[in-house]
Structure 1
């Protein structure tokens, strides 16, 4: 029997009344996406740091292309939020500032950060960048530009199936090494969109954005290149994880 969890089927789309997940290349999908389609883009692209030895996180990311395409497919009053690594932040800020007038740093402070680096401070946050135009929507609830919450481990983190061969190295035990906290993504969805809006994530991983959007009454459209992650995301959307 063929194990569909480990194959790539580019072009496959899983659809529901709440939204779609496309197993596709993010750049190809964006090139063929109609203009002004989404009210918000919330995404977590590769950091280019080779986390957990993953090849997809070692390749050079065309941030200039992504910034242009984000502006093109976003509605004029929409919001973009991008998680990024420290050294990427300047590139994201420079490229997105070509198209948006308002830019603001964001830091997700992890309350459950683990590990110890002798003689050094322990990093316990990740950077993000929120950009928009002058008339963009922002939730009525007052929010600080950081979230000191959101567990990064525990029951929420997806694990491989018992019969799957998976690495036991640090950072590779979970199904996806950079799965974001649902609590943090729900906060972003609430702040940057209204009920009924469509939110886009071209690097959806295990689909946390889709779960948050469905729970909060938004529609979602997501793209994920890895077919195994596509399946995991769809199971979460259907409540099977």
Structure 2
């Protein structure tokens, strides 16, 4: 399982990961509401462009069960990018967990898409909940919980996060040789970040198309490294 892209449902793989068996989780879970809201926007009579991420935002697991597994398998920190409707649930889960500290963070997009800008403020941030086991490593000092990074323009996955942002998070919460786990890896950005930074990774993706894309990205990276 180590240093592999696994095409599977993460909830089927979690039981194979031992308690506190990974050092860090970085993941971007399906937001669920994005596609639904896109289809509902007909009530605005065409004022807003429809947003439809397809399967990329399809939630396939119970969120609390997912969070319980994340807490169980992680010995260090957890970063979970999530939709606005999920923020409170994720935050409260870790805030109520005696072993974790928690902080609401945000990715600030320095080049937000101009979609619907004639009608409202641009969508220029995404939420991320950071949870950390007490007295575990954190390689930053007095840094902001708002991270400024541009969006990519040649994305493989519709909700792909910028590689430099994910590298920053991996560096902030792990050392070389540690293991980074992404149970919803999409097109493989977390795995690429771990590989480039000398970390091990475990990466799971339920969608066959994105899993294949992630495998291809890792193969191309290995060719470029060697």
Interval of TM-score (by shorter of Structure 1 and Structure 2): 0.7 to 0.9
Q: Give 1:160-179 correspondences, 5 Å limit.
A: 176-179=157-160
Runs of 4+ deviating beyond 4 Å:
none
Q: 2:56, 2:158 within 8 Å by CA — same for their partners in 1? A: no
Count of matched residue pairs: 204
Q: Give 1:100-119 correspondences, 5 Å limit.
A: 100-114=99-113, 115-119=115-119
Quick check: 118-127 or 58-67, which moved more?
A: 58-67
Which residue does the alignment assign to 1:189? 170
Q: CA RMSD in A?
A: 2.0
Q: Is 1:97 aligned to residue 95 of structure 2?
A: yes
Which residue does the alignment assign to 1:165? none
Equivalent position SS for 2:220: coil
Quick check: 193-202 or 25-34, which moved more?
A: 25-34
Q: Give 1:31-70 correspondences, 5 Å limit.
A: 31-49=15-33, 50=35, 52-55=52-55, 57-59=57-59, 61-70=61-70
Higher fraction of helix: 2
Equivalent position SS for 1:28: helix
Q: 1:199, 1:219 within 8 Å by CA — same for their partners in 2? A: yes
- Deviation sequence 1:42-71 (CA, Å, 0-9, x none): 000100122625145244641210111111
- Give the unaligned 5+ runs of structure 1: 1-12, 159-175
Which residue does the alignment assign to 1:120? 120
The CA deviation at 1:201 is 0.2
- Give the unaligned 5+ runs of structure 2: 36-50
TM-score normalised to the size of structure 2? 0.83
Q: 1:46, 1:61 within 8 Å by CA — same for their partners in 2? A: no
CA gap 1:181/1:96 in 2 versus in 1, 3 angstroms: same
Q: Give the alignment partner of residue 189 of structure 2, picking from 186, 194, 208.
A: 208
Q: Partners in 2 of 1:59 and 1:209 — Cα distance? A: 19
Quick check: 84-93 or 115-124, which moved more?
A: 115-124
Equivalent position SS for 1:82: strand
- Deviation sequence 1:210-232 (CA, Å, 0-9, x none): 11011111110000011221111
- Deviation sequence 1:147-198 (CA, Å, 0-9, x none): 112x32324x23xxxxxxxxxxxxxxxxx21111001101100101111100
Q: Give 1:195-234 correspondences, 5 Å limit.
A: 195-234=176-215
Which residue does the alignment assign to 1:133? 133
Q: Give the alignment partner of residue 26 of structure 1, picking from 10, 20, 29.
A: 10
Q: 2:5, 2:205 within 8 Å by CA — same for their partners in 1? A: yes
Quick check: 134-143 or 223-232, which moved more?
A: 134-143
